Structure 1
Amino acid sequence: MGDCILKSLALVAVAVGIANAAPAGRVVGKVTVTEASGKPASAEVIVYVVGFPEKGTDGTAATITQKGRTFVPDLVAITVGESVTFPNGDPFLHNVFSQSSTRKFDLGSFKKGESKEKSFPKSGVVDVYCNIHPEMAATILVLPNKRHTRAAADGTFTLDGVPPGTWTVFAYARRAAKPASAPVTVIAGQDATVNLSLVRGAEPPHVNKFGEKYKNSTTTYR
């Protein structure tokens, strides 16, 4: 009986190993960004595939620096379970926070040369702001797998290592009204082509970490 169980487990392990070793395909294409008027526009774009889980790496996967009262970069993608560091490169205090349901946090005020880190255990979109400077905004995409990339300046992208199957490809830009998406069928050892379009809008308004209008600000960030 014990030998039969061991043999069965061995066969399962072999099958899993074969599945994990199955050759993957690629998703390639281009993202076009325009203004609402149809005029060509530029934007930082993250392209990613959903439909299957994949474990992220342990530790820090991205860094968002506070420099010149901006977040640099203002859009990053990580995998569930990974962390983001927030170093302060300005000669004054910053207070990084998020009220997003995916991951609410408040790193408190910290000075130049100091850095804070936050992990993200759940997938979703995390909008990040500074409680001191209302003009500062960034977005973290916490994704279910590692098949994500930043599109090149001309909008082209390549997603390597995508397992065979039918999935959904998304393109995300911070100031787009909504992400663009399209189904894609990936065949092992082949390229699947997907072209997507985004319409860029204005920076969405927000309030501070207390849910109030920023002091000494003429703009209602809500």
Structure 2
Amino acid sequence: MWTRFAFFAALVAIPASFAWAASVGPVRVQVVDERGVPVRDAVVELDAAGGRAGRITFPWRMAMAQRNEQFAPGTLVVARGSTVAFPNLDKVRHSIYSFSKPARFEIDLYGRDQTRTHTFPIAGAVALGCNIHDEMRGYIRVVDTPFAGKTDANGYVTLANVPSGSAKLTVWHPRLRGPGGEMSKQISASGNHKVAVRLR
């Protein structure tokens, strides 16, 4: 009796696992401006059902260097609660600060080959500057979803393992016209999508 029950349970479990596997997949998004020109370094986020289980991690380093008196990368996507490293690779000293609501902070002057860190517990966009070099601008987008990334030179980003169904898509860019530099819309979380945004 128990053998037959176990066999029946296995038969039931197999299609269920296949159904789960088929319910996730990649979503490819292209961001363009009003003229159809691809927008680079736009942050794309998907708020999908079941997407926040466990700790959120991304494959890229949680680091923003200062190199040639610029932030590198210029835009960084991090999960809420992440600690970001700020290595100074320049010969000059830097002093990083932000007045953005999600993270108001200031890091005192530090020199070449030194690193400072800061933790970002609140989701949102953080604009960075340097007290010594006014022309330096960097951006950290703190997200609360594992389905996030920034667009490449052709305006594309691919988000992996997204559960199928309706999802809220949010696009952020420092020059985007809209509250907080972002726009949102509901989409079907599968296949390819093109989003047109208005830039300043």
* 1:43 paired residue among 40, 45, 50: 40
Change (3 A) 1:41 1:145: closer
**Distance of 2:64 and 2:80 partners within structure 1:** 17
**Distance of 2:29 and 2:71 partners within structure 1:** 28
Task: Provide the secondary structure at the position in 1 that maps to 2:33.
Answer: strand
The number of equivalent residue pairs is: 175
Change (3 A) 1:136 1:152: same
1:53-72 Cα shifts (integer Å, max 9, x gaps): 352249x9421111122111
2:20 alignment counterpart:
22
Greater alpha carbon shift after TM alignment, 175-184 vs 152-161: 175-184
Task: State whether residues 27 and 192 of structure 1, in contact with CA within 8 Å, keep that contact through their aligned partners in structure 2.
Answer: yes
After TM superposition, the structure 1 = structure 2 runs for residues 29-108 of structure 1, keeping only pairs within 5 Å, are 29-33=29-33, 38=35, 40=37, 42-50=39-47, 52-54=51-53, 55-57=55-57, 61-108=61-108
What 5-or-longer segments of structure 1 have no aligned partner? 1-17, 202-222
TM-score (norm 2): 0.76
What 5-or-longer segments of structure 2 have no aligned partner? 1-15
**Letter of the 1:72 counterpart:** A
**Letter of the 1:140 counterpart:** I
**Distance of 1:129 and 1:22 partners within structure 2:** 45
TM-score (norm 1): 0.70
Task: State whether residues 96 and 107 of structure 1, in contact with CA within 8 Å, keep that contact through their aligned partners in structure 2.
Answer: yes
Greater alpha carbon shift after TM alignment, 124-133 vs 163-172: 163-172
Task: Provide the secondary structure at the position in 1 that maps to 2:108.
Answer: strand
1:182 alignment counterpart:
185
Task: State whether residues 78 and 146 of structure 1, in contact with CA within 8 Å, keep that contact through their aligned partners in structure 2.
Answer: no
1:111 alignment counterpart:
111
Q: Post-superposition shift, 1:42?
A: 4.9
**Letter of the 1:118 counterpart:** H
Task: State whether residues 28 and 157 of structure 1, in contact with CA within 8 Å, keep that contact through their aligned partners in structure 2.
Answer: yes
1:120-163 Cα shifts (integer Å, max 9, x gaps): 11211111111111111111111001211222211122111112
2:8 alignment counterpart:
none
Q: Post-superposition shift, 1:83?
A: 1.6
Task: Provide the secondary structure at the position in 2 that maps to 1:153.
Answer: coil
Task: Provide the secondary structure at the position in 2 that maps to 1:200.
Answer: coil
RMSD: 2.5
Change (3 A) 1:79 1:181: same
Overall identity of the aligned pairs, in %: 23
**Distance of 1:194 and 1:154 partners within structure 2:** 14
Task: State whether residues 180 and 197 of structure 1, in contact with CA within 8 Å, keep that contact through their aligned partners in structure 2.
Answer: no
1:131 alignment counterpart:
131
1:151-190 Cα shifts (integer Å, max 9, x gaps): 221112211111233211122222222324321223xxxx
Change (3 A) 1:122 1:61: farther
Task: Provide the secondary structure at the position in 2 that maps to 1:22.
Answer: helix
**Distance of 2:149 and 2:141 partners within structure 1:** 11
Q: Post-superposition shift, 1:92?
A: 1.0
After TM superposition, the structure 1 = structure 2 runs for residues 170-209 of structure 1, keeping only pairs within 5 Å, are 170-177=170-177, 178-186=181-189, 191-201=190-200
